[in-house]
Amino acid sequence: MSKSSITKLLDAKGVRHDGRKFNELRPVTMKVGVLENADGSAYIEFGKNKIMAAVYGPREVHPKHMSVPDRSVLRCRYHMTPFSTDTRKNPAPSRREIEISKVIREGLEPALILTDYPRTAIEVYLEVLQSDGGSRCASITAASLALADAGINMRDLVVGCAAGKIEGRVVVDLDDVEDKEGEGDMPMAILPNLGQVTLLQLDGRFSRKEFDEAFKLAKDGCMKVYDIQRKALMEKYFGAEETGEQ
């Protein structure tokens, strides 16, 4: 089924165009330590999103005048490959990619103890191999895993999930069609154990009741993704036996 052939995002029973319920996530898989040449790395598939994250550092800042004497400088680059969407994307960084890079950095910073690494830089690279809506939330989740894999001191992992509104109904985890055709989108990232929100954006119109419902759905979605995130990290360092998997 082509994207253009989808006219109804919800059927009469409230089932979404891909068969999900309003509170159901797309399939999520994660793997840690996938790049040998990076200090830390992770790979995530969130629905049809396929994203690679790599972390380098802490290391010397270049140029040196950009170093900070009492903490590390966190740098993030979010980039979509030319083949990541259904039409070829210009490989040069777009304004949207620059904005999302900034949003991801600000979403990750509260989790990192940057004062442990003065006069250094920690660099996070996110490469979107395939995009399907919700890539910023998937990216921040993968980046958090890669930072943990690199051994960066962290207060908590960061996990992201979005909620939104389609045909007047608040749902969790919009895919690309729902994101483009729906009435609103609310990306969120949290520190699950500390109960803190590090990213909250809103696009569209929500009533107070819809906002509260979307906030709860996004938070619940984050906690479901966090379980997968934690298991992926444990699997690398302790093996499948410790995670309860066969």
- In this prediction, residue 4 carries a pLDDT of 44
Residue 7 pLDDT grade (very low, low, confident, very high; cuts 50, 70, 90): low
Distance from C-alpha of 41 to C-alpha of 164, rounded to nearest angstrom: 29
Return all residues near 73 (Cβ < 8 A) that are at least 6 apart: 61, 66, 67, 114, 120, 121, 122
Residue indicated by tokens 């966190």: 74
* pLDDT at 141 > cutoff 60: yes
- In this prediction, residue 3 carries a pLDDT of 46
The angle at the Cα of 105, spanning 47 to 99, to the nearest 5 degrees, equals 75
Spatial contact of 92 and 17, defined as CB atoms under 8 Å apart: no
- The crossing angle, in degrees rounded to 10, of helices 135-149 and 208-238 is 30
What value does the mean pLDDT take over residues 60-87? 91
13-37 tens-digit pLDDT: 889 999 999 999 999 999 999 999 9
What is the token pair recorded at 54?
A: 């790599």
* pLDDT at 5 > cutoff 80: no
What value does the mean pLDDT take over residues 149-157? 97
Q: In b/e form, how buried is each residue of 108-136, taking b as 16+ CB within 10 angstroms?
A: bebbbebeebeebbbbbbbbbebbbbbbb
Distance from C-alpha of 50 to C-alpha of 186, rounded to nearest angstrom: 21
Q: What is the pTM of this model?
A: 0.91
For residues 155 and 239, which has the higher predicted lDDT (pLDDT)? 155
Spatial contact of 191 and 155, defined as CB atoms under 8 Å apart: yes
19-230 folds as Ribosomal Protein S5; domain 2 (3.30.230)
181-207 tens-digit pLDDT: 999 999 999 999 999 999 999 999 999
What value does the mean pLDDT take over residues 116-134? 96
Q: What is the mean pLDDT of the chain?
A: 92
Burial (CB count <10 Å: 0-12, 13-18, 19+), residue 63? exposed
